[in-house]
Structure 1
Amino acid sequence: MAPADTGDDGIRCRLDELLAERGMTLTRLSELVGVSVVNLSVLKNDRARAIRFSTLQAICDALDCEVGELLVRAQR
């Protein structure tokens, strides 16, 4: 199966871990970045197929992190 068919594109989102480290809820992050909880949940659960740079920047600003801390290469 091709990576697109399995949903495994080699990138993993660490949003859940970063939220836990900062004691922040998905709802609070949603308020800070102006993105719905549903859309953040899709990202958090590695089901997102794309992300806008502006959204990525807003999430990183709210979590005080770098892109490389949020999005990492998945272990194969």
Structure 2
Amino acid sequence: MVCHLDAVLADRGLTLTELSRRTGITLANLSVLKTNKARAIRFSTLTGICEALDTSPAELFSIATQDGDLV
């Protein structure tokens, strides 16, 4: 899985700090997602991010093949 949080934030003209303020999710947790170091995400966290960014999980995540290509 590849997280595109940085691109979605850029498209919306928002910072990680603003997203944290809107969602109540810590900067540390959002940073882990943004840098693709997260191993899991709670549905409540995903829902909060999607609502704050007016987006869907499909825009936030994609699947990468073993050679790195996005599906």
Name the residue aligned to 2:45: 55
Which residue identity does 1:18 align to in structure 2? Answer: V
Structure 1 runs (4+) deviating above 3 angstroms are none
Name the residue aligned to 2:20: 30
Aligned residues: 66
C-alpha displacement of 1:73: 1.0
Name the residue aligned to 2:8: 18
- Provide the rounded CA distance (Å) in 2 between the counterparts of 1:45 and 1:16: 8
Q: Which runs of 5+ in 1 are unaligned?
A: 1-10
Find out whether 1:42 has 2:32 as its counterpart: yes
- Provide the rounded CA distance (Å) in 2 between the counterparts of 1:38 and 1:22: 20
Aligned alpha-carbon RMSD (Å): 0.9
- Provide the rounded CA distance (Å) in 1 between the counterparts of 2:17 and 2:57: 20
What TM-score do you get using the length of structure 1 for normalisation? 0.83
- Provide the rounded CA distance (Å) in 2 between the counterparts of 1:63 and 1:36: 16
Radius of gyration: which is bigger?
1
Name the residue aligned to 1:65: 55
Measured against aligned partners, the alpha-carbon deviations of 1:11-62 in whole angstroms (never above 9, x if no partner) come to 0000000000000000000011111111100000000011100000000001
What TM-score do you get using the length of structure 2 for normalisation? 0.89
- Provide the rounded CA distance (Å) in 1 between the counterparts of 2:7 and 2:61: 11
